[in-house]
Amino acid sequence: MKLEMRDRPGQLVAALKPISAVGGNIIAVIHQREAATTAEALDVQIVLELPEGRLEKLLELLREQGVNVVRIGEERLLYECTLIVIGHLMHTDLSDTVSRIDTTGSSEVTELSMVMPAIDSPSSARIIIRSTTRTEMKRAIQILRAVAEQKELLIIEPLEDA
């Protein structure tokens, strides 16, 4: 999620407190001086992660603090993971494989590139999953692993930093 506000003295500090109060996690604070604006009207963007259903409460707290939120950009799926899957993807109902991730509500398959070299030989696909949180991403990968075992697919996960 992205909050944008005018940069007036005290606004930033006033904005940060309520975020932690509602259990939010600040990912980035960006000061951006736009060419058309004066120094006084500097924009501040705060990128943050927020548990479901806490947005209204946060906005209320921010208003109480006198923070003027200009715009809210909601990006639900902050985490991205690329995997490769090998096997008989079409014969084992690819749309079912995808929907098992999508029906979690917190993770989605957002991209799929598939190569099918020949009839009857296994196909390979690169899939991109996006999730709301790191924990949800782990859950989505667990689901995919279970599906892979059931459908005899090989799933190749990325090597990530611990």
Question: Which residues lie near another protein (CB under 8 A)?
Answer: 82-84, 86-87, 113, 115, 117, 122-126, 154, 156-159, 162
Q: What minimum distance in Å lies between the beta carbon of 86 and another protein?
A: 5
Q: What minimum distance in Å lies between the beta carbon of 114 and another protein?
A: 9
CB 47 within 8 A of CB 2: yes
Residue with tokens 């590139």, as numbered in its chain: 113
Pick between residue 5 and residue 101 the one whose CB is nearest to another protein: 101
Pick between residue 28 and residue 159 the one whose CB is nearest to another protein: 159
Pick between residue 15 and residue 148 the one whose CB is nearest to another protein: 148
Tally Cβ neighbours within 10 Å of residue 78: 18
CB 1 within 8 A of CB 55: yes
Distance CA(105)–CA(121), nearest Å, equals 33
Q: What minimum distance in Å lies between the beta carbon of 47 and another protein?
A: 24
Label residue 107 exposed, middle or buried (CB < 10 Å: 0-12, 13-18, 19+). buried
Pick between residue 28 and residue 118 the one whose CB is nearest to another protein: 118
* Beta partners for residue 111, in sequence order: 128
Q: What minimum distance in Å lies between the beta carbon of 53 and another protein?
A: 30
